[in-house]
Amino acid sequence: MSENEGVRLQKVLAEAGIGSRRHCEELIGEGRVTVDGKKVFRFGERVDPRHAVIHVDGKRVETRSEMRYYAINKPRGVVSTMSDERGRKSLADYVEVPERLFHVGRLDTDTEGLILLTNDGELSHRLTHPSYGVFKTYLAEIHGPIPRDLGRRLRAGVTLDDGPAKADKFRIFDQVGRRVLVEITLHEGRKHIVRRLLKEVGFPVQQLARIEFGPIKLGQLQPGGIRALTVHEVGELYKSVGL
């Protein structure tokens, strides 16, 4: 990129939300910024924010200003699509941003919890493609008491109609009387997978919520709530799928 073309790197970083221009200059001066894989020390460096691949401390910074990334807490009873021909409530009922967004994967209508929304096709594709094995964590309510070896059985794996399935992690999250809340993490996304897995070991799910998708946590977002992901979170998402 020639002297007068493109945008100064510190401006691009500041506009991407990394911090003040001065702070971004410091990051550049400290050698913490790379453009297209090369370390940049010069403040005046100009880049094309639509094409440059910029990392700060090894984490990708999204510089295409038209890209949008949101987390929504889908309430139970809402379909995981942006519209519904049968007139049921869909994600679009909760999204008040003008951009056209896509949902990254789906949850059962009966499941509540975290769904990512974006217009970044490549990221969305990778996050849902089985080969990237992105981890998802759920809270499932089941009826106890549960045997001591349940976690071990789930991690060892079971055979479902469409092949083997297993949990990567399992723990008891909370227990009130016979109502047991378990946290279960998997890296696959077959339909009804958590419900089928727990049913197979004798504990049909009463209620289900997704609380994490890769590095993104639902946190305090209430059902029906939506929030923009932070620059840091978008960088983590990229990292999780090798972008």
Does residue 200 interact with ligand URA by CB under 6 A?
A: no
Q: How far is the CB of 193 from ligand URA (least distance, A)?
A: 4
Q: How far is the CB of 134 from ligand URA (least distance, A)?
A: 13
Q: Of 190 and 239, which CB lies nearer to ligand URA in the complex structure?
A: 190
**Of 107, 209, 211, 237, the one binding ligand URA by CB under 6 A:** 107
Q: Which residues pair with 174 in a beta bridge?
A: 181
Does residue 35 interact with ligand URA by CB under 6 A?
A: no
Q: How far is the CB of 144 from ligand URA (least distance, A)?
A: 19
Does residue 167 interact with ligand URA by CB under 6 A?
A: no
Catalytic-residue membership of 108: yes
Q: Of 26 and 183, which CB lies nearer to ligand URA in the complex structure?
A: 183
Name the active-site residue from 36, 48, 57, 108.
108
Does residue 232 interact with ligand URA by CB under 6 A?
A: no
| Residues between 38 and 97 with contacts to ligand URA, criterion CB under 6 A | none
Residues at the contact surface with ligand URA, assessed by CB under 6 A: 107-108, 111, 192-195, 208
Name the residues annotated as catalytic.
Answer: 108
